[in-house]
Structure 1
Amino acid sequence: MRVRSALVYTVLRLAAFLVPFGLMMLSPLLREYYWLSAIFAALIGLSLSTLFLRRPLDDLSADLASRRRRTVTDEDVEDAATESAGESADR
C-alpha cells in the first residue's frame, strides 16, 4: 500500500472537519456549546468528503485492494503443496 494515498486522504478528511469546527468556534454562541459545533462540523465534513474527496478515496481503495490480492491465502499454499507433491511423484 502506498502510504501517500492514505496520508493524503486522512489529512483531507481531518481538514474537512477541523476547518468548519474552527470557524464555528469563532462564534461566541457556538463556543459555549462546543459539542454542537463538533456535531455540525462532523456533518459538514462528511458532506464535503462525500462531494469532493472521491478521487483520494478511490486511490486508497485501489491500493488496499491490490495489497489484499497480493497476500498469500491457505488455498494458495495448499495448491502449491499439491503441485509440488504431484511433480515429485512423477519423478
Structure 2
Amino acid sequence: MSNPRTAWIVYIVLRLLFFAVPFAVLYAIGLTPWVAAVFAALIGVALSVIFLARSRSTASESIYEWRNRDRTADDIVEDEAVDAGASNGGASAADAPSPAPASRAESGATPAAEQRRNDS
C-alpha cells in the first residue's frame, strides 16, 4: 500500500467498519445506544491499533510529506529559531524595550503637546 490515497481510503473505511459492526451487534443484542457506542468505540480503537498499523503509518507519512512539501532551507531555519526561542522562554517582540522617546526638535512636537504626552 505505497499509494497514500489508497492507504487513506483503506484506513478510513476500516476504521468506520471497526466501529459500525460492533455497534450494530451490541445494539442488536439489546444494549442502549450510548452504551453500545462506547463499547464499539473501544473495540474499534483496539482493532485499529492491532490491524491498521501499516496503513496508519502510510497515512501519517503522507501528512508529513504534504505538510513539508514547499519548505525551503530558509523556512526550516526560521522554524528552528522560533522553536528554540519558545523553548528557551525567549522574549517576544512585545517584551522588547521600547525605543527612547524622540526629542522635541526631532518629533516636531510643541511644548504643550509634549507636556500633555508626559502627563498621561
- The answer to whether TM tops 0.5 is yes
Task: Give percent identity, aligned residues only.
Answer: 40
Matches within 5 A, 1:21-36: 21-28=23-30, 30=31, 33-36=32-35
C-alpha contact (below 8 Å) 2:19/2:43 kept by paired residues: yes
Counterparts of 2:22 and 2:55 in 1: how far apart (Å)? 20
CA deviations 1:8-57 (Å, max 9, x no partner) are 111111111001001111113x1xx1100000000000111111110110
Choose 43-52 or 2-11, whichever is displaced more: 2-11
Between Structure 1 and Structure 2, how many residues are aligned? Answer: 73
- Structure with greater proportional helix content: 1
Counterparts of 1:54 and 1:72 in 2: how far apart (Å)? 28
Unaligned runs of 5+ in 2: 76-120
Counterpart check, 1:17 vs 2:19: yes
CA deviations 1:40-89 (Å, max 9, x no partner) are 0000001111111101101101111222221235935xxxxxxxxxxxxx
Counterparts of 1:71 and 1:15 in 2: how far apart (Å)? 35
Counterparts of 1:65 and 1:12 in 2: how far apart (Å)? 22
RMSD over aligned Cα, in angstroms? 2.0
Counterparts of 1:47 and 1:14 in 2: how far apart (Å)? 13
Task: Tell me how far 1:5 sits from its aligned partner.
Answer: 1.8
Counterparts of 1:16 and 1:69 in 2: how far apart (Å)? 31
TM-score by length of 1: 0.70
Q: Report the counterpart of residue 46 of structure 1 in structure 2.
A: 45
Q: Secondary structure at the match of 1:70?
A: coil
What is the identity, as a one-letter code, of the residue corresponding to 2:43? I
